[in-house]
Amino acid sequence: MRRTDGARGLAEVYGRITIVQDDRIRVEEDEGGRGYLFVVRKRAASLDELEQWRDGRVRVRVRYIGEPDAGAIAEEVQVVE
């Protein structure tokens, strides 16, 4: 589900990381299963964290700027319960 975080103007999506490649990730949303591609901003999350979250099928929230699949920048990647 894509939403906008009004406080910072960032769009957000909730789901699980399915692919990690260098500074890029693919997140499959919870509802509908659509995949979104992002470039992860430095210090938003480490490569080790991203790989652990992918391997553990951990649910994450990605807050981003831009259009997914067209160079969107993941400003924040956080684990959610």
Domains of the chain from N-terminus onward: 2-79 (2.40.50.140)
> What's the pLDDT score for residue 63?
95
Q: Looking at residue 3, what is its pLDDT? A: 60
Q: What is the pLDDT along the chain (81 residues), one digit of tens a residue?
A: 456 554 567 999 999 999 999 899 999 998 778 999 999 998 899 999 999 999 999 999 999 999 888 889 999 999 998
Instruction: Provide the pLDDT for residue 7.
Output: 53
pLDDT at 81: 81
pTM of the model as a whole: 0.85
Quote the strand ranges of the chain, DSSP E.
2-5, 10-21, 24-29, 35-40, 59-65, 73-79
